[in-house]
Amino acid sequence: MKVTVVSRSGREIVKGGIELKDSATVADLQEAIHKRILPP
């Protein structure tokens, strides 16, 4: 599934969204967001 992450003001946090498995957990979502936002 594709997840779009937006702020309260409506701004897209992760451009283009995040692709996750249908069986993904909240922890999987958090990990994917951190990989996209935070530098390695």
When pLDDT is averaged across residues 3-22 and rounded to a whole number, the result is 94
- The percentage of the chain sitting over the pLDDT mark of 90, rounded to a whole number, equals 78
- Which residue shows structure tokens 């249908």? 22
- Please state, rounded to an integer, the average pLDDT across all residues of the chain: 92
3-class secondary structure, 40: coil
Q: Does the structure show a pLDDT above 80 at 40?
A: no
3-class secondary structure, 33: helix
What are the distances in angstroms from CA 13 to CA 2, 8, 9? 14, 10, 10
Give the phi and the psi of residue 36 in degrees, each rounded to 5: -80, -35
